[in-house]
Amino acid sequence: MQLFNKLKTYAIVFRRLLQKQVAIESIKQNPKMLIRTLREKGVQIDDDVFLFSPETLKIDVTRPSLVTIHGGGTFLHTNFTILTHDYATLNFLNKYKEFVPNSGRVVIGNNVWFG
């Protein structure tokens, strides 16, 4: 029962963090406004990053300090997603009955095209 309560607490916290992701459609329609909002949330993003279809871009802002996007020819295209976490930890929970949180830094350099 204690494990269930712990997992339930993690799920509630995680859901709240995901709800904080940039999802306001008016912001996502305007690339400059989206870049400004991402910066306000803590994402490091250069001015000369080009966002195609910003309304379909998904950047995990649950740990915004882990995301760095450099400019200079960097293009993020339609339906591109950046995550700083992994759902593979559910395998540990199912097999070993332990929750192992994990996350990692995402750094996108210059002259990169995604999409």
Total-model pTM? 0.67
**DSSP letter assigned to residue 54:** G
What average pLDDT does this structure show over 109-114?
91
pLDDT for res 49: 92
CA-CA distance, 105 to 115, in Å (whole number)?
20
The residue among 62, 67, 85, 73 whose CA lies nearest residue 114 is: 73
Q: What are phi and psi of 9, to 5 degrees?
A: -65, -45
CA-CA distance, 9 to 69, in Å (whole number)?
32
Q: What are phi and psi of 10, to 5 degrees?
A: -60, -45
What pLDDT digit, counting tens, does each position of 16-70 carry?
Answer: 766 665 454 556 678 888 888 899 999 999 988 998 888 888 888 888 999 999 9
What pLDDT digit, counting tens, does each position of 77-102 carry?
Answer: 889 999 887 766 666 666 776 666 67
- Beta-carbon contacts of 69 under 8 Å, excluding residues fewer than 6 positions away, are 43, 44, 45, 46, 49, 76, 108
Q: How far is CA 7 from CA 11, 42, 86, in A?
A: 6, 27, 16
